[in-house]
Amino acid sequence: MGRSGFRQRRGSVELRLAEHERGVLLWVLERYGDLLRSIAQDPVPQPVDPLARLLDLGDPVEPPTDPALARLFPAAYRDDDEAAADFRRFTQTELLDGRLARLRSVLPALAAADGPLALTAGQAHEWLQVLNDVRLMLGTQLGVTDESGGDLGHIGPDDPEFPDARIFEWLGWLLETLVVALAARLPDQG
């Protein structure tokens, strides 16, 4: 059994995982998918304004209330709620579809893998975005803040958040191996 993680191999990127690691990753990816799909009900959809429908303005899209969804779909303007609302109305569906498409690409491949997974450059990039998203989900749910700086040492083995904290840390390590593998291919090393 070789060491786990992503690495460069013959011009492409390869992912190796122990069986229990693959199980954990599949589980947390499913959870990420559940979170993404829950956005349709967050916030609870309001009846469409008949005037807006008449004018074909498209339905307004409210910011998600769930903290992890709010982190994945942030406001594009800080001090301009109207511009932020317009941006969300015209881009959030596309952003969600992109995330779901990447998940639909990586999840079945991982589920079907019975050995090292060889990835194209495009697939490696999808993994990069998906793994980072999953870290954002777990980190937000664990309350990782600027003050804690990502240090979850205070969460002990008896804490209900202990498994998530360990997975979060492991995902950080896994993502780092992917960044290293991908960065090795970049022409500019200066």
Partner 1 sequence: MARGLCHDGGVTAAPVEEILAEEQIEGEATAELAWVTVVWNDPINLMDYVTYVFMTYFKYPRAKAQQLMLDVHERGKAVVSSGTREEMEVHVAAMHSYGLWATAQRGS
What residues contact residue 151 under an 8 Å CB cut-off, 6+ apart? none
| Contact status: 180 vs partner 1 (CB under 8 A) | yes
Measured in Å, how far apart are the chain's first and last C-alpha atoms? 35
Q: Which of 13, 61, 72, 119 binds partner 1 (CB under 8 A)?
A: 72
DSSP state of 73: S
Give dist(CA 76, CA 86) in Å, integer: 10
User: Cβ 54 to partner 1, closest distance in Å?
Assistant: 27
For residue 42, give both structure tokens. Answer: 């967050």
Give dist(CA 5, CA 25) in Å, integer: 12
Q: CB under 8 A: which stretch of 33-41, 49-57, 69-77, 105-113 binds partner 1?
A: 69-77
Closer CB to partner 1, residue 11 or residue 187?
187
Phi then psi for residue 7, to 5 deg, are -155, 160
Q: Which of residues 102-161 bind partner 1 (CB under 8 A)?
A: 128-129, 132-133, 135-136, 139-140, 144-146, 148-150
Closer CB to partner 1, residue 158 or residue 188?
188
Strand boundaries in 10-71, DSSP class E: 12-16
**# of chain residues touching partner 1 (CB under 8 A):** 41
Q: Footprint of partner 1 on this chain (CB under 8 A)?
A: 71-79, 83, 87, 91, 94-95, 98-99, 128-129, 132-133, 135-136, 139-140, 144-146, 148-150, 172, 175-176, 179-180, 182-183, 186, 188-190
